[in-house]
Amino acid sequence: MANKKALRFLVSCRHCLRPIMTVAWSAGEILHLRQHLEKCAPHEVPADAASAEETVRHFRVIPVEGRA
């Protein structure tokens, strides 16, 4: 088990290949990703706003070990 490691994720866009952010995952980040997708690949934005999975699959999410 990871004991106080802050697990963070490097998120990059599969469409433009740009790194978007490094985050600890939360609903707010999903919203941020949707906003990016709306600009970057409007036709790919999932219709269901609640569908985090459908949004996240347009991005590469790589776990990184952060230091608080």
The residues binding Zn ion (CB under 5 A) are 13, 15-16, 40
Rg of the chain over Cα atoms, rounded to whole angstroms, equals 13
Question: Amino acid identity of 10?
Answer: L
Tell me which DSSP letter residue 68 carries: -
Minimum CB–partner distance for residue 50 and Zn ion (Å)? 21
Length of the chain: 68
Minimum CB–partner distance for residue 64 and Zn ion (Å)? 19
Minimum CB–partner distance for residue 33 and Zn ion (Å)? 9
CB nearer Zn ion, residue 5 or residue 57: 57
CB nearer Zn ion, residue 5 or residue 15: 15
User: How far is Cα 33 from Cα 15, in angstroms, rounded to an integer?
Assistant: 12
